[in-house]
Amino acid sequence: MNNYIAVDIGASSGRLVMGTLHKDSEQIQLQEIHRFSNSFTEKEEHDYWDVDYLFMEIVKGLQKVKKEGVDACTLGMDTWAVDYVLLDDNGKRIHEVYAYRDKRTKEAPDKLHRKISRSVVYSKTGIQEQPFNTLYQLYVHDSNQLQRADKIMMVPDYLYYRLTGKLMNEMTNASTMQLLNLDTREFDEDLLEILNLRRSQFAELTEPGVKLGRILPELQREYDLPDCELIVVPTHDTASAVVGVPAQTHGSWAYISSGTWSLLGVERPSPLNTPEAMIANYTNEWGAYGTYRFLKNIMGLWMIQEVRRETQEDISFAELVELALREEPFRYLVYCNDNRFLNPSSMIQEIRNYCLETGQPSPDTIGKLARCIFDSLALTYKDSIQELQKLTDQSIETLHIVGGGANNELLCQLTADVAQVEVLAGPTEATALGNIIVQIIGSGQLHGLEEARRFVGNSFHIKKYKPQPIQGMDDITSRWEQIKAKAKANQPI
Ligand SMILES: Nc1ncnc2c1ncn2[C@@H]1O[C@H](COP(=O)(O)OP(=O)(O)OP(=O)(O)O)[C@@H](O)[C@H]1O
Ligand SMILES: C[C@H](O)[C@H](O)[C@@H](O)C(=O)CO
Ligand SMILES: [Mg+2]
């Protein structure tokens, strides 16, 4: 069989992609079968995902696969991280699925760390502190519901369960819970005790590549679906994206999985959970094939997504880049990883306030706001790459940018110029590709990551951005440092 189906659901969009392997030309071909939007909605002052809508979009996509004449395939599913579903002992959802940007966890880290220090948690888990990590979400979740929970599944685990009836916690996404112990590679007993949870409330930790089972016959009949064998893939979308990075060299490359978030990091054979890494807030999310994703969350294209949503104009991301290109470079700068940008009521107003508070003029047009975001992301990337090289004692010569952000030519060139690193942009659908690669390797058709990444490099246009000198870069850097310092001290320049 040569039909590999990836369901990849990000925070802003989902897609169902069919991959076919062509060993003669050493290529993997992708065909997008179904695309749908995704977003969280506010109900009674909380933010939730609509997992029933997402499940039906998966069904619609599989029906389209059948209509393409595919009666049998393998299937893997990945989504964003940290969010979870509580199941009762009948396998029914106890509560709607909270979206990680919900404000309920704002104070959770400080409250939890009165019971166990940040340094002890980081030494155990190596996971960056983000207020929305599952650890903090569970800490503030209604305790009665938690006690009723027979199983705690991550969102993609739940989607696998809905299709197969099989329970599992896939490892790469489970690591984003900030509950897994790096030494034991199991749930950390001290952290479960603090949450008053039992190990039995979680399923078996499962490696990517495992064959989980087939779609339930009743679902296949009810919806006229193809006969799919579900393969466990790296169900954290970033873990699949890293698999899909077309890296051809050893050691000197880093990646940005550029979508709603920008996940900037390297692939390591071992974790790096040093005190210095904790201070820099780098994370050690588990990767496929025993690797670790030593990376940092950067606010990412969420910022431009929100500006676009607020303008309510029918303007494409490509048009926003065109508007930004007309603006003066580096005129407006914001430190993207300031938590004020995590889920503001108005991103436009938040950016303008930040600029005014740091003695800058207010970016008063959409073009100026877009330019501010792209310039600021490039400078934040540069900061993170410098930190990364220092922490890992590894020089970064090539930066692979994958995901939707690979289409943003302005941001790719800005990143190359500001960070003075060669940027290789693409593939856009690296996540779905990585998902499919793990299915192909699991089927024995490819031998491992190195061979698969060579096939990726043969299959997709990878655009090269060589670093160009920026006039006045010293002044820009000096202003950037001043602005960050003033924002931190919350005093206008
Ligand atoms: N043609 C384009 N020009 C400029 N930017 C683009 C273009 N196409 C996509 N993008 C950028 O890519 C982003 C979406 O990236 P992507 O599709 O990887 O995200 P996702 O998979 O939906 O979400 P997640 O990051 O949660 O996985 C958009 O927000 C936009 O900023
Ligand atoms: C909430 C997580 O940090 C987020 O899902 C991140 O891992 C990501 O954007 C994956 O697409
Ligand atoms: Mg994505």
How many angstroms from the chain centroid is the CA of residue 218? 33
Q: What is the pTM of this model?
A: 0.97
CA distances from 471 to 96, 374, 382 (A): 52, 17, 17
How many domains does the chain fold into? Answer: 2
> What pLDDT score does 491 carry?
52
Q: Within this chain, do residues 251 and 385 fall inside the same structural domain, yes or no?
A: yes
Catalytic choice (47, 83, 157, 237): 237
- Domain of residue 355: give its range: 247-426+462-493
Ligand 2 pocket mutation, candidates 39, 170, 263, criterion most atoms within 8 A of CB? 263
Flag whether 392 is in a domain.
yes
Supply 40's token pair: 């969280």
Pair (156, 256) in one structural domain? no
Given 182, 200, 231, the domain boundary residue is: 231
- Among 183, 201, 231, give the residue marking a domain's end: 231
Please give the structure tokens belonging to residue 482. 């001043």
Instruction: Based on the fold, state whether residues 485 and 393 are members of the same structural domain.
Output: yes
The reply to whether 64 and 119 lie within a common domain is yes
In this structure, the answer to whether residues 214 and 319 fall within a common structural domain is no
Distance 10 CA to ligand 3 centre (A): 4
Active site (annotated) includes residue 475? no
Query: Rounded distance, CA 12 to CA 269, Å?
Result: 31
CA of 238 to the centre of ligand 2 (A): 7
Q: Give the Å distance between the CA of 451 and the centre of ligand 2.
A: 27
The tokens of 429 are what? Answer: 């659908």
Paired sense of beta strands 422-425 and 4-9, if any = unpaired
69 shares its domain with 170: yes
For residues 308 and 178, state if they share a domain.
Answer: no
The bound ligand whose nearest atom lies closest to the alpha carbon of 434 is: 3
Question: How far is it, in rounded angstroms, from Cα 439 to Cα 444?
Answer: 9
Q: Is residue 195 part of a domain?
A: yes
Phi and psi at 295, nearest 5°, equal -145, 175
Give the atom of ligand 1 at the shortest distance from the alpha carbon of 8: 21
In the chain the first and final C-alpha atoms are separated, in Å, by 64
- Inter-residue contact 257 to 241 (CB < 8 Å): yes
SS3 labels along the chain: CCCEEEEEECCCEEEEEEEEEECCCCEEEEEEEEEEECCCEEECCEEECCHHHHHHHHHHHHHHHHHCCCCEEEEEEEECCCCEEEECCCCCECCCCECCCCHHHCCHHHHHCCCCCHHHHHHHHCCCCCCCCHHHHHHHCCHHHHHHCCEEEEHHHHHHHHHHCCCCEEHHHHHHHCCEECCCCEECHHHHHHCCCCHHHCCCEECCCCEEEECCHHHHHHHCCCEEEEECCCCEHHHHHHHCCCCCCCCCEEEEEECCCEEEEEEECCCCCCHHHHHCCCEEEECHHHCEEEEEEECCCHHHHHHHHHHCCCCCHHHHHHHHHCCCCCCCCCCCCCHHHCCCCCHHHHHHHHHHHCCCCCCCCHHHHHHHHHHHHHHHHHHHHHHHHHHHCCCCCEEEEECHHHHCHHHHHHHHHHHCCEEEECCCCHHHHHHHHHHHHHCCCCCCHHHHHHHHHHHCCCEEECCCCCCCHHHHHHHHHHHHHHHHHCCCC
Give domain status of residue 405, yes or no. Answer: yes
Q: Is 13 annotated as a binding residue?
A: yes
For residue 353, tell me if it sits in a domain.
yes
Is residue 432 a part of any domain in this protein?
no
* Torsions phi, psi for 186 (to 5 deg): -140, 175
- Cα radius of gyration rounded to whole Å, the chain: 22
CATH number of the domain enclosing 50:
3.30.420.40
Amino acid letter at 232? V
Minimum CA distance residue for ligand 2 atom 7: 81
11 in a labelled binding site: yes
- The sign one gets for the Cα dihedral 404, 409, 414, 420 is positive
- Same domain for 107 and 253: no
Cα separation of 57 and 53, whole Å?
A: 6
What pLDDT score was predicted for residue 251?
66
Residues 6+ apart with CB under 8 A from 2: 20, 21, 445
> Is 20 known to sit in a ligand binding site?
no
| Ligand 2 binding pocket includes 238 (Cβ within 6 Å) | yes
Task: Write down which residue in 231, 255, 275 finishes a domain.
Answer: 231
* Ligand 1 atom with the shortest distance to the CA of 237: 27
The answer to whether 199 and 179 are in contact (CB under 8 A) is: no
Q: Which residue's alpha carbon is nearest to atom 27 within ligand 1? A: 10
Residue 32 within any structural domain of the chain? yes
Q: Is 206 in the pocket of ligand 1 (CB under 6 A)?
A: no
Burial code (b: 16+ CB inside 10 Å, e: under 16) for 208-231 equals bbbebebbeeebbeeeebbebbbb
Q: Which two tokens stand for residue 187?
A: 């749930």
Q: Is residue 180 part of a domain?
A: yes
Nearest-CA residue for atom 1 of ligand 2: 81
Give the number of whichever ligand sits closest to the CA of residue 128: 2
State whether 305 and 176 are in the same domain.
Answer: no
| 421 Cα to the center of ligand 1, angstroms | 22
- Whether ligand 2 lies within 6 angstroms of the CB of 84 is answered as no
Same domain as 130, residue 173: yes
In the reported structure, the alpha carbon of residue 259 is separated from the centroid of ligand 1 by a whole-number distance in angstroms of: 5
Rounded to whole angstroms, the Cα distance separating 401 from 242 reads 10
Are 133 and 60 contained in the same domain? Answer: yes
Task: State whether 334 and 405 are in the same domain.
Answer: yes
CA 261 – ligand 2 centroid, Å: 6
Residue 446 lies in a domain: no
Ligand 1 site, residue 101, Cβ cutoff 6 A = no
Q: Which residues of the chain have pLDDT under 70?
A: 1, 251, 491-493
**305 has binding-site annotation:** yes
Residue keyed to tokens 């959409």: 366
For residue 200, what are its two tokens?
């039995």
Q: Is the CB of 100 under 6 A from ligand 2?
A: yes
Find how far residue 465's CA is from the centre of its chain: 23
pLDDT of res. 490: 75
Hey, which of 32, 49, 101, 260 would you mutate to test ligand 1's pocket, going by the most ligand atoms within 8 Å of its Cβ?
Answer: 260
Q: Which residues pair with 21 in a beta bridge?
A: 28
81 CB under 6 A from ligand 2? yes
pLDDT score recorded for residue 239: 98
